[in-house]
Amino acid sequence: MRLYYFVVVTFISILDIAPIPVFGLLLMWVIVFRPQWFYDVVLKIYGKQ
- Mean pLDDT in residue range 19-23: 80
- Mean pLDDT in residue range 3-15: 86
pLDDT at 19 over 70: yes
Cβ atoms of 2 and 46 within 8 Å: the answer is no
- Is the whole model's pTM more than 0.75, yes or no? no
Query: Whole-number mean pLDDT of the chain?
Result: 84
Report pLDDT digits (tens) over 26-49.
Answer: 888 898 999 999 999 888 888 865
**DSSP letters along 1-49, please?**
-HHHHHHHHHHHHHHTTSSS-HHHHHHHHHHHH--HHHHHHHHHHTT--
- Mean pLDDT in residue range 17-24: 80
